Amino acid sequence: MPKDLLIVESPAKARTISKYLGPGYEVVASLGHIKDLPPNTLGVDIEDDFAPSYVTIKGKEKTITSLRKAAKDKGTIYLGPDPDREGEAIAWHIAESLGREKHNFKRVLLHELTPRAIKEAMASPVDISLPRFESQQTRRILDRLMGYLISPLLWGKLKRGLSAGRVQSVALRLVVEREREIFAFVPEEYWTITAALEKDGEEFEATLVKIGGEKAQPKTKEETDRIVSRLEGSGLLVKSIVTKDKKRNPSPPFTTSSLQQAAFTRFGYTPTRTMRVAQQLYEGLQLPKGVIGLITYMRTDSVRVSDSAAQEAERLVKERFGPSYLPASRNFYRNKKGAQDAHECVRPTSISRDPEAIKNSLSQEQQNLYSLVWSRFVASQMAPAVYQQTTVELEAGDLLFRASGSVVKFKGFSVVYSAPKEEDELNILLALKEGEILNPKAVKPEQHFTQPPPRFNEATLVKELEDKGIGRPSTYAAIISILRQKGYAEGQKGQLRPTEMGFAVNDLLVENFPELLNVAFTADLEEDLDHIEEGQAERLSILNKLYKPLASNLKTADKKMANIKIHGLKVDVPCGSCGKSGHMTIRYGRNGFYLHCAECKATSDFTRSEKGEPVPVRDPVLKEEFVCEKCGRPMVLKKGPYGHFLACSGYPECRSTLPLTIADGVAEPRTLGPPPDIPEGTDLVCPKCGKTMVLKRAGTGHWFFGCPGYPKCRTTKPFPTEFGCPNKGCDGFLAEKKTRRGTFYGCTNYPSCLFGTNSVPVKDPCPVCGFPYRLEKESKDGEKTVYCPNPECPEHPPEADKPKSRGYKKPAPAKSSAGAGKTVRGKKTLKDEGGGKSAAPPKRGAKKRAPLKKNEERADEK
């Protein structure tokens, strides 16, 4: 009897499943999509009802060949890619590539990778869903139309390599509009008044909430002082004391977006990192009892819980915490409008796998995320937390003050996930009695100002996209990643602040494609895709819904869209040189955005004021005139990608440069001191031409060895320090190296030795092992720590230099064929936000084929 074949997406998933299916099955992986729209052309025939032209993804030819080989002489072929639209498209294209008429194909939906779930899915396969495939195909075509038809406009008007996208551009619009809300915000002054009170030796505070029955809203210091003066010499009468119990219900189990938000808040994980770790937990990890998937499928917008999972959680809660921690009836949660509900929530595959019990089998980030999923799901099936809240109102004439406090009476779900906030004032407030008078120890007026709306961070942007119905759970991480990769947004610790490029791209798109960049229009398209999957809509009508306004806008945008490279965007700021207004534009050049005056032709860099207005940045003034040390010509002030510097006016005959020190707008050459002593044993022979290398100084101020045959020979070597490489078996030295991201120290034997560190070597022998120097590391908070670089020393931290210090490896033997393995940068290709990867760059050194003569064909093309 022939074996059956199961095809899944990833090798990790295949390894997990193969352990539970037994010898009657062979499990192989497709490594994701095998077919996609072509990378260098539109690939959609608009005239033929938007018919797509799929091609095999470059590099997947071998995968298809191996799948065909595995499918030969098999019984049933089960297709088990992820249970979503993308997985349905992968299954469809696999069946198409292997031949639908040759094999018996069945679709299996693997929502979790546990022995029970795998066997149940294999026992109840279904047919490939045509509506779900059509939904994915429509989404793919929509993204391709917008990406490939609009992006070239941005290339010509602003910068090559920019991109537009159906969801990406709307997400950028949200970020830009939030920033402009911050620019336009005008803070308003307001004051609060609190009274410090005492009862039985314990203090508490009460806040003024009403004046004469109206909400207390003092706006100025004078108004506040008048209110404070009315309290002088008077006490506060306890008017009422209200104590009541309040319940706090648990949150529903995780969806994709809520998991991304919680992981960002708890651990600072970006959505991309969260999804990467969640994928590992879903596909299966090695535990003491074998490889098993720890969580259910992580791309879902549903909070639905299966009966078996809910019952398992109820048993655990009852055994571990007692019956009182179970709700009177099972907790059910309602999905948000538009949720697909194709899968359950994100939950543990088994509640019995406690995070603490398996933590030694997980990495730290896997442990963090699994604990978060486990505790949130268990808590969602538990009873509410109950806390007692006391509110006291005190009055002095028509001034009403209020104090409140709470304490937990029953912890409920909070024993597992997020305890309610406790306040210490409750016992004090319970000691009060109605009618008694308390004399304030102090009255504290405090000035405040209203705050602008906060900038989006990666978690809050995910929430905003979800709330507005833009995109789907599987796309949030990718969209935010694109905003950063394209340089449209930046910010530390997950914050998203639009860059000048982000402002420019958004303004061009919103002005020329207003309907397509409309939030409601984009959300409607997402609902339309759901309707296609449900069989309630046809893809052609949805494609025409986007293409008609797109085609109309494209005709006018090519002529009307502002060319920022040539004409720029007009801004109402005075010129820093001639002082005239109305002539300034923001333009884009090879060094970025700059201000240009049409009147006097002056240019300058600029920054943004608190209101978002461009502010010209004046070039520094030279402290005095300087002459070139080499040729005697005057030195002139120039600016490059790394800032201002001095360059010889005799360029290109003389290429002398000097770095600058700028203080209070005055620039002078940076004092570099004499050339350093060359350490003994330093090899100064050029490995390419054999000439003796000379010591040179870069424009950034650091020293290096260069070949005197420059520019014919451009060989350089880093200048070594006196500190030897700590990798065992390596005889190299540490050398200071500079990149755009800063300075680091790497081994002079690179690439044979890959040691590198951002820490600074200091002449301080290790007191434990006697290593001749130590490394000094500075944290983000400015705190400095010193550690030993010797990996065998007890004082060497395990995590030190982990990303870059990859040990010592011997040089690889030289290859016999010249140029083998070398690559050059390939030509840029169009990419849309749903797209696959572009073709690999061509190899340098490959022989060019001679042109074919008429009626001639190559042997390998027959």
Tell me how far CA of residue 172 lies from CA of 154, 466, 625, 758, in angstroms: 15, 15, 47, 34
| 297 in active site | yes
573 neighbors 614 (Cβ within 8 angstroms) = yes
Chain position carrying tokens 């690889």: 812
Residue whose C-alpha is closest to residue 127's, from 154, 174, 91: 91
Contacts of 846 (CB under 8 A, 6+ apart): 819
* Structural Rg of the chain based on CA atoms: 34
Catalytic residue among 20, 54, 148, 297: 297
Which one-letter amino acid corresponds to residue 415? Answer: V
Q: How many helices (H) and strands (E) does the chain have?
A: 18, 40
Tell me how far CA of residue 797 lies from CA of 217, 755, 800, 830, in angstroms: 55, 16, 5, 45
Residue whose C-alpha is closest to residue 724's, from 677, 790, 797: 790
Q: What is the DSSP letter of 9?
A: S
- CA neighbours within 13 Å on the CB side: how many for 292? 16
734 neighbors 746 (Cβ within 8 angstroms) = yes
Euclidean distance between CA atoms 548 and 14, whole angstroms: 44
Give the containing element (helix H, strand E) for 659.
Answer: strand 657-663
Which one-letter amino acid corresponds to residue 624? Answer: E
Which one-letter amino acid corresponds to residue 143? Answer: D
Give the containing element (helix H, strand E) for 278.
Answer: helix 271-283
Euclidean distance between CA atoms 425 and 518, whole angstroms: 49
Strand partners, 247: 386
Q: What is the DSSP letter of 676?
A: P
Euclidean distance between CA atoms 38 and 829, whole angstroms: 10
- Say whether 745 sits in a helix, a strand or coil: strand
Residue whose C-alpha is closest to residue 128's, from 109, 101, 102, 103: 109
Sign of CA dihedral 497, 500, 501, 504: positive
Q: Which residues are catalytic?
A: 297
